[in-house]
Structure 1
Amino acid sequence: MSEHVRVAIVGGGPAGLAAAAALAGRVDGTVLVLEREAAPGGIARHSAHSGYGIRDLHRVLSGPSYADRLAGRAAAAGAVLETEAMVTGWAGDRALEVTSPRGRRTVSADAIVLATGARERPRPARGIPGDRPAGVYTTGQLQQLVHLHHRAVGRRAVVVGAELVSWSAVLTLRAAGCRTVLLTTELPRPELRLPLRPVRTRTRVAAIHGHGRVSTVELEDLRTGRRERVECDTVVLTGDWIPDHELARAAGLALDPATLGPRVDAALRTSRPGVFAAGNLLHPVDTADVAALDGRHVAAAVLRHLAGAGRPASAGVELVAEPPLHWVAPQLIHPGGPPPARDRLLLWTTEHRRLPRVTATQDGRRLGSRRLPWPAAPGRVFRVPYALVRPADPNGGPVHLTLGS
């Protein structure tokens, strides 16, 4: 069985739903959103605390309310939201293999938007030794257990991480009646100043112990090497994100070695014509409202593609993040072409700078240098004005971005 649509969007989280709302009704044909979960909305659907929708909807909503609002907007615009639909592979350059309770079929499209998001690495991927007891979760697993399935967790929890998603885990534990006794981070300071103590910095989880259920976590002080055990029955592993890039890899799209997501230009075009990407698949991980704004942004490029606009003649100018900057998104720009979403470059740093100075150079020439009034900190996306690289020579070499104090 085969089906053709005008636009296929893979992923019904904030980026995919925002793209669908922006495209449906503006294209001649079907805009189809393929979501593998039972309902659209992404991570926000099972994140019951508030704080969603500030940048895109200009209001403060709980996660489920935000998910419902985005899904409602996409449906009202005329998009088709298909849930329990798993995209298992490719059947051509712009053709997807889809499996659902309704059967298997091929969906071809004139444009495809990949909005598959990101996930936290589970314990095996982090290489934490010790026993294999129950009671070890990522934040997403915890939230689904508590908010979707209404299951109980333990009584005493250690949260590994001290960033925004860690606070989300603490709130979920609190809703389940589980007390957070400690947060730990390997960094010299918490990525987020949380209204909670204690927070152990420069500390790693050396092992997890327990038979049947977690009983203790073994912590190591990275400064002294001293180890101690903390009693708990629940461990939540937060942060350490990786994009859900399996579909992008299967397509043979060019991937960025730092983000592990598809390489894109400022219009969010991937290396394959007619295939675009948006949201946390590109920059793991940013807030849900920024992912939604990515979805709105990619819609303009999709419309230009559907109208017959060709790709830029040049390959573009590469952006290179120099240490302690770890990655930059987008990775390519076309000077004189469309700027990135919100006129911002997104970067990730491994070191803290309270009032950072960012400098852009190309072929030994300084394009710009600016001291920014907001900090650059590990564990959160660092935003840099696009104006810094706007003077780049379209025929020049890579633009290097450096971070100073």
Structure 2
Amino acid sequence: MKIRYLFVPFLVLSIVIYSCSADYLDNRAQVDLSSITLKANIETTNIGIDQTLEFTVIGNDDVDYTANSVITVNGEPIEGTSHSFTEGGEYTFEATYSGFSSNALTYNVVTEKYLVIDRSKALRTQTVTFQLLNPNGDDATSEATFFVNGTSISGNTFSSNQEGVYEVYATYDNGVSQTEPETLEVFVPKRKVVYEDYTGAWCGWCVRVTNAVHLLKEQSDDVVVVAIHNNDEMTFPQEVQLRNTFGVAGFPTAKINRTDTAPNPEDAPSSIEYALANAGTETDISIAINTELTGNMLTVQTKLISENSIPSTHKLVVYIYQDGLVFPQTNYYVNTPGSPYYQMGNPIEDFVHNDVLETSLTNIFGDQLQSTNAFEELSINFDAVDLSTYGDTSNGNTYDPSRFGVAVYVVDENNNALNAQHVKAGLNVDFE
């Protein structure tokens, strides 16, 4: 497994490889091409009409495939690996190589001076920098006066301790001309609660935790659920280590933020309220996830940012889970009036199992993070995983890569989950 750490503005490459040996092993040659990424020399959304884009195409194996790739603009191939513009408008670029399709890069090409904001989302008190650029990309910031929510500011930097959406624009030519407005969001990270369901299809009492998960998801979007199965068709191979570490003595057990245990019965209103006590509350660390699904291959990038420094004692956990698996579920509530599983059979033959933990892209307890300063963005890329490896076609199930998802936790040195995030395979979720 290779993990790459990318710091902004400096780039640091760190490769961590797990093997049975403690010796370092560079397995770069063993990485197969499974995805390609299109990159350009200009990263901002707006660019001037007199600027030229230079493209590169990089595989997940770190090989440059630019020379043999086809790059298109709005669906039409371009000549070479660069592109210049003759008129303004919106342009979307993509690349293909050997059956692989890249991400899309979309630019708004402008014919006048334009505003550039170094980030579209910022934490409280985080400094944001504005620039005014000429259509050829030259810096004209010294000619500009910048406005935030209609009020001019001194200089070209801005920060706020108030969350909200701010409108930003610049005037120039002694105030005669004005750029198109852009938006800046100042946000406060919101905590998502980790809810881990230790379960098994053989466990007749476990459906009450399934009901608790349903109620939690119904009441809050700030819950990240993972079901860790024991001794059934969906068993997670390392569930014993997880159970032993987190003190799971019986089934069902629901763990909150990894180390706290949900009160029994887990679907009682008081237990639901207990689980949601910290859901959506303010915290300091925010998690973003970018995924790309190419056929069966899923690539994952996680990004972290914090109002406070992130110590090296913190760890990152990245799990892959699957929804929609149908297997019989033992049901001890079949004769219990008031239960949602009353008279549904024992077992419930067509029971749908969601959030099933399939694999971990990190150590199951997390990979140690590098110490990161406040407001410094930390990006961690993982090599592609073949989701078909975890497809199940028994019991009438079908394999569908869109049923998979990614769950990410940041945990402290005591394995307490400080924040979490999740997203379906092929989709992205920004800092929030």
**TM-score normalised over the length of structure 1:** 0.25
More helix by share: 1
More strand by share: 2
Task: Give the number of the structure whose alpha-carbon radius of gyration is greater.
Answer: 2
